[in-house]
Homo-oligomer: A and B are copies of this chain.
Amino acid sequence: MSHSCPKYLKHLLVKPGSKLKLDDVDPREVSFLGEEDDARAKLAEDIIEIDKLQDRLYAEGKRALLVVLQGTDTAGKDGTVRGVFNTTGPIGVSVTAFKQPNELERAHDYLWRIHMAAPRRGTIGIFNRSHYEDVLVGKVRKLAPKDVIQERYDQINAFEKLLADNGTVILKFMLHISRKEQGERLQERLDDPKKHWKFNAGDLEDRALWGDFQDAYQTALRRCSTDAAPWHVVPADRKWARNCIVASIVRDTLETMNPVYPKMPWKASDFKID
């Protein structure tokens, strides 16, 4: 297991077998980050280090990092990608946004399209939504029978272990915002014509089911935080804090992975450039 979490963020890690109550996590409580200015300064350093570490990961070419981002609408999944990985650039980083499955995807088991999008060795893969939708919206909207949903938690754990055993380090982040904060963000999207394309009437239907979704998240967090692929609950009402937390854990994990520039089976003096 190469994933790692700095000490001051360890309380955000969902322990395997935990009886986490999501309600107990305050989406605005981020005093553990210290002063905002200091945290932002650390973030600026972290994203530069992540870029350097990604270059080593790419050069090494043996392992991958998978970052799973989940959260209700407006929780800040895209914003996290921008805030944490923009400096890393598109070489060796892929982002997959999972929408409603298309016909071909629905013709397979629900993990088929996820497996197809798994990051290749040497790269960082970011999932904007993921297979967890199949135990979140799948559960709340009753898109599959209860017993089928129930089986999925173990299937997901086995699938993630497969990836982990084969060299993919997995970090999962639930971006945890309050209902109030979501209301403000949805309103912002309505108020700014440039953000209208991000607004989806369906988001309001999901919002009406807020409690059901929180329950479904709580179950998924409890059942699927494993040694192979731990969940973190990120207080995400404050965007800067959210980015600071994710960046810090990603950096710590990449440092623990400690990818190395490969040693080649030759000496530089073997070659002469004419």
Contact = CB atoms under 8 A, between A and B. Distances in A.
Given A268-B191, A274-B183, A197 B59 contact: yes
Interface stretch (A87-95, A106-114, A139-147, A216-224): A87-95
Interface stretch (A26-34, A243-251, A256-264): A256-264
Given A94-B90, A204-B271, A197 B261 contact: yes
A187 interface: yes
Contacts of A263: 196
A217 to B, nearest CB: 21
Query: Which of the listed residues A87, A89, A196, A199 has the most CB atoms from chain B within 10 Å of its own CB?
Result: A89
A86 B54 CA distance: 13
Assembly stoichiometry (copies): 2
Interface residues of A, number: 39
Interface string A82-122: 10011111110111000000000000000000000000000
A7 interface: no
A274 B59 CA distance: 50
Given A186-B273, A271-B190, A273-B183, A197 B89 contact: no
A197 B186 CA distance: 48
A273 B263 CA distance: 58
Contacts of A187: 273
Interface in A178-205: 183, 186-187, 190-191, 193-194, 196-199, 201, 204
Interface of A: 59, 61, 78, 81-82, 85-91, 93-95, 126, 183, 186-187, 190-191, 193-194, 196-199, 201, 204, 207, 261-264, 266, 268, 271, 273-274
Given A81-B91, A190-B273, 4 more contacts: A86-B87, A187-B273, A194-B261, A204-B271
